[in-house]
Amino acid sequence: MKYISLISQNINSESNIDLASICKNGHSIGPVIIGDGYLFVKKGFRYYYISYKDADKIFRRVKRLHANICCGDGDIEVEYLVIYAQGRELMEITLPGKKAARAIIDELNKTATYLDTCAPAKNNDSDSEAKQ
């Protein structure tokens, strides 16, 4: 397996750490593996990883997608896990549902208590102009 750093995009850049054993011993929720000190994301035959200390923020994002289904129109809520580091969004991971998103955030709050798991505040310019 290839372990690719989300920060540097190098394969196995942390050579003195056994990433395979940390990943294997981690708790898996959908494509996300919560390991001891590291968060892994499985995509195909690759594992992307980031140290909790390197991440600025890891939070869940909910997007509403419009869908035309057999019995009419409707909106579907899709859950994502977003990883921020170095002041930019590194990855947005599609999750299998609301329970998975909440379980990942709860697990991160237990594993890395210093990690910020709150979504950033929305900047709605149209709302602020209307209030003035």
pLDDT of 127: 46
112 DSSP 8-state letter: -
**CA-CA distance, 26 to 63, in Å (whole number)?**
28
Residue given tokens 């690759």 in the structure block: 46
pLDDT of 42: 94
**CA-CA distance, 41 to 68, in Å (whole number)?**
31
**CA-CA distance, 48 to 46, in Å (whole number)?**
6
Rounded average pLDDT over 50-67: 89
pLDDT of 14: 66
Q: Which of 39, 44, 48 is nearest to 112 (CA)?
A: 39
pLDDT of 72: 74
**CA-CA distance, 7 to 13, in Å (whole number)?**
10
Domain ranges of the chain: 2-117
- Give per-residue pLDDT as tens, 2-19: 899 998 888 876 666 888
Whole-prediction pTM: 0.80
Q: Which of 108, 107, 104 is nearest to 95 (CA)?
A: 104
Q: Are the beta carbons of 77 and 99 closer than 8 angstroms? A: no
pLDDT of 15: 67
- Give per-residue pLDDT as tens, 19-53: 889 999 999 999 999 999 999 999 988 999 999 99
- Give per-residue pLDDT as tens, 88-123: 999 999 999 889 989 999 999 998 888 888 877 776
Q: Which two tokens stand for residue 61?
A: 């994002």
Q: Which of 132, 131, 96, 101 is nearest to 119 (CA)?
A: 101
- Give per-residue pLDDT as tens, 65-97: 888 777 777 788 889 999 999 889 999 999 998
